[in-house]
Amino acid sequence: MLRKLRSHGFVVQQLVAVIMSHQCTIARPAFPRNLFSTRSRILRPSSYALPRSAALATMTTQDSHLEDIFTQKRVLRSKIKKDLRSMDPALRSHEDDAIQKLILEAPWFKSSKGLCAYISCSALREVDTSKILQHVLQNPTKDGETQTPKRLYVPRVEDKNCYMRMLNISEMNDLIANSMNILEPAPVDANGNDREDVMLANEPVDLLLLPGLGFDKTGRRLGRGGGYYDTFLSKYKQLATQRNWKQPLLIALSYSVQIVEEGVIPVTESDVFIDALVSPSGFIPITPVAHHTLL
Ligand SMILES: Nc1nc2c(c(=O)[nH]1)N(C=O)[C@@H](CNc1ccc(C(=O)N[C@@H](CCC(=O)O)C(=O)O)cc1)CN2
Ligand SMILES: Nc1ncnc2c1ncn2[C@@H]1O[C@H](COP(=O)(O)OP(=O)(O)OP(=O)(O)O)[C@@H](O)[C@H]1O
């Protein structure tokens, strides 16, 4: 998308311009909606041990409960999308700046060595991340004498079955729009080398900056319904456990209108809870580790 450019700073400026001007259309990904999807099977293991007729009855009850949850999620998504659409553009811009400023000035952000972040899409009315990305790519972290840039990984959707990878980028001149019209990295860099997948990296990330539609102060997160983030987050948390790494902080960026009353967001066993929220009025730590780190 962007021409190969020698000057790193210029590339970053171009990237920011691209992100700011890129108009994502709202795609309709073909999410599997059938009751026998992988996720709904994960949620009813007990029925397999029962006789066929009993198992069918159990599955029906559990499936209808799941159907209810997915319906409630759809209704809530529509409501929040409507609220986001009617948000005053000046307020949105003010909140974008406030959230990014809070993050850029936070000690836990400054000291982070590796992070996963989303590339915000204005058509989806997501909290802007362009300033954060710009900062990460332009400012090496001071580590004694040496200056190391933070390792940055951004999402790339690989298929419609909830599979998303987080790939390393250090320059952004080959970001391309995917089928949902969201900017994402090509799987190989300009030299033809595979980009590093965070799941295969030797070093952990300490921070994940997450998008979403709705959040509450108990850590519930309502995504866009693709299951991409929940699937990725549970795999990454498992990897961190296996490798004895510290768990990364899961921090969602939220406009004020996206924070809903506790208990309103329905959850299934597959939903991964977040550690903290960053809203325009400040940090909202949820887990003990977030209280300790953020405040
Ligand atoms: N910036 C960004 N990148 C991301 C995500 C994200 O939420 N934000 N994802 C997080 O998963 C993955 C992509 N998932 C997506 C899921 C849905 C839609 C979308 O356009 N949804 C429409 C409704 C579509 C429908 O219901 O049929 C919408 O939300 O209005 C876009 C991306 C990976 N990259
Ligand atoms: N009615 C349904 N019955 C069974 N499975 C469904 C139904 N609706 C959605 N799903 C599946 O559930 C998963 C997504 O559900 P969920 O509501 O947890 O996503 P999300 O948390 O909004 O998304 P993300 O994790 O990407 O932010 C997908 O795998 C989707 O295919």
∠ CA 248-250-251, nearest 5°, is 135
Predicted model pTM = 0.86
- CA 225 to ligand 1 center in whole angstroms: 8
| Interface predicted TM-score of the whole assembly (ipTM), two decimals | 0.94
Q: Is 157 in the pocket of ligand 1 (CB under 6 A)?
A: yes
- CA 228 to ligand 1 center in whole angstroms: 9
Strand bridging mode 114-117 / 151-157: parallel
Nearest CA to ligand 1 atom 13: 157
Interatomic CA distance for residues 33 and 40, integer angstroms: 10
Residues 6+ away with beta carbon under 8 Å from 65: none
pLDDT digits (tens, 9 = 90+) for 118-148: 999 999 999 999 999 999 988 766 555 556 8
pLDDT digits (tens, 9 = 90+) for 216-274: 999 999 999 999 999 999 999 999 999 999 999 999 999 999 999 999 999 999 999 99
Q: Do 95 and 258 form a contact (C-beta atoms < 8 A)?
A: no
- CA 227 to ligand 2 center in whole angstroms: 5
Interatomic CA distance for residues 204 and 184, integer angstroms: 21
pLDDT digits (tens, 9 = 90+) for 14-39: 555 555 555 555 554 445 444 334 34
Residue 28 CA, closest ligand 1 atom number:
27
